[in-house]
Structure 1
């Protein structure tokens, strides 16, 4: 049994097509089919049920696939570890990014990391913090930047706090809480001539927020509940740009990190005296991280692209 044969089997299983698998593996289809058939003869079982239009794993193929994937991963890790021992970091690096990252200048950090480690293949994935934690625990992701309310304890993964910051209310220009046009302080945050805006001042407003049951939403829901304020979250979206566009058009107000609002036209960020506090974390698995993951963690530790906003 050869590693290349296992690669072909995995490719056919994932693509459900010998043609697409051959394209993915950059080999002619006849050569790929020959190697798969040779492996089936050696094993004494059929791995695939084939017709002219359809390819599916047989029960034997279903049983073979997990071990084949594990073998390929182990072989790749062996190559990566050997290269790392010789001073060269290579391999794949999977990073999860929530849509509200403010503690790290992600494009700059990745550009600098790529220049430092050109042989590392970087894969970025968007999503939510809870899902990223599960992916890291399952070994399907190397690291992620997470965001959680400050009273949530992140478990199952190793973490480092990148930032802890008080969120701000985001209102359209001209909103009564935005203050006068010339009252904006640093980062476009309105400075109002009074003790400060409280969540109770937003009662009756129509809100846009992140979807229910996500950490991004939980931090606001908990703050409003603690303040005894009931609010109407009529619009839900994971896209920060869409949330800001809804505010810009005067349809809603929202709450988010100040770094997402700075420089955005048509909206104003307003300090909240009792607003929620969010913590951004760098998360990873402490169990046998790859050389590429260790290099990335060390790079962020040293890089000035990861700036930590002061608590407010």
Structure 2
């Protein structure tokens, strides 16, 4: 029943006031956990540093715990803050899923829509675009819904049913079917001020004392170990930073400021040139693969996945999937920073 407009000056009853953390505060926590730097985290969130600090203080007050240890020179997660991160990501992920479900209700097209996940990097690759172009040509009634994912979302979107298939760098954890597309070299990303940046080619032994930027815990162990080369060929285990990175841009900033390193596909030198970092060849670094992945059982019931897998196999067998971006072979590659 409509009781008319709310009178001016009316206030909500005290029982409606809640100390539950807000989703935007939890999202700020995740961003700061990645960057471990208030300035960079605030810039990513389009906030001022004081506004971000206030959000974190409010969140800590509502939870009744200290999430970050702050000094004039360093920001780091407390042990409890680090332990809470997976739960925080679950809450933020559930909120994102709710928003997506509300905006994309079931449309009754009976399998004619294929939801495809990809990262910003994968979207630029020639293999991705060749596959999609061929798929839409051969199956014009198949509607493709693209969803851009970060590193954590890429690791979880398939398992929670947010996407049907994804373009991803390999390897991937068990439980996923894979159609490999291309192989490319990996490179090391270094701060431009690192003494090793002066050398054109390195070996893994040269990098033994450099810590690796830590990816978010939701990224599978098989992927974390592969991208860190952990353990190294001589059996040495790798040291990691305290970051919990979910985006390539955050990883690069961490490399620049913290003196750590990261291994990336060679195409990163073309996609992410920056004056504060360099990319260098590592002579004994194993290459990486790139392909399309989907949950093993899903392929049996989804015509779109079947069509996508068939196109991948056809193009791969024809040799029509070069590594790298859409840059034409006669275009000169712009020099990477510090080259």
Please give the TM-score of this superposition, normalised by the length of structure 1.
Answer: 0.51
The equivalent of 2:226 in structure 1 is: 219
Structure 2 residue 312 is the aligned partner of structure 1 residue 287: no
Distance 1:236 1:167 in 2: 21
Any idea what the Cα deviations from partners look like across 1:26-60, whole Å, max 9, x if unmatched? xxxxxxxxxxxxxxxxxxxxxxxxxxxxxxxxxxx
Determine the C-alpha separation between the residues in 1 that align with 2:180 and 2:124.
10
Change (3 A) 1:230 1:221: same
Distance of 1:248 and 1:159 partners within structure 2: 34
Q: Does 1:97 align with 2:146?
A: no
Q: Distance in 2 between matches of 1:125 and 1:242?
A: 16
Q: Which has more radius of gyration?
A: 1
Who is 2:166 aligned against?
Answer: 144
Q: How far apart, CA to CA, are the structure 2 residues paired with 1:271 and 1:295?
A: 37
Are residue 236 (structure 1) and residue 240 (structure 2) matched?
no
Partner-residue secondary structure (3-state), 1:101: helix
Is the 1:103–1:307 contact (alpha carbons within 8 Å) kept by the matching residues of 2?
Answer: no
Supply the distance in 1 between the matched residues of 2:170 and 2:135 (Cα, whole angstroms).
Answer: 28
* In structure 1, distance between residues paired with 2:147 and 2:260: 31
Cα contact 1:207–1:234 (8 A) shared by 2: no
In the alignment, the residues of structure 2 paired with residue 111 and residue 277 of structure 1 have an alpha-carbon distance, to the nearest angstrom, of 24
5+ residue gaps, structure 1: 1-71, 81-90, 181-190
The answer to whether the 8 A contact 2:176-2:293 is kept is yes
Q: Which runs of 4+ in 1 moved over 6 A?
A: none
Query: What CA distance in whole angstroms lies between the structure 2 residues aligned with 1:274 and 1:223?
Result: 14
1:259 to 262, 267, 280: 267
Query: Structure 1 residues 201 and 256, CA, compared in 2 at 3 Å: closer, same or farther?
Result: same
Q: How does 1:12-27 map to 2 (within 5 A)?
A: none
1:28 maps to which residue? none
Give the count of matched residue pairs.
Answer: 205
8 Å CA contact 2:126–2:323 kept in 1: the answer is no
Q: Specify which structure has the higher proportion of strand.
A: 1
Contact 2:245–2:251 (CA<8 Å) still a contact in 1?
yes
Q: C-alpha separation between the residues in 2 aligned to 1:289 and 1:93? A: 8
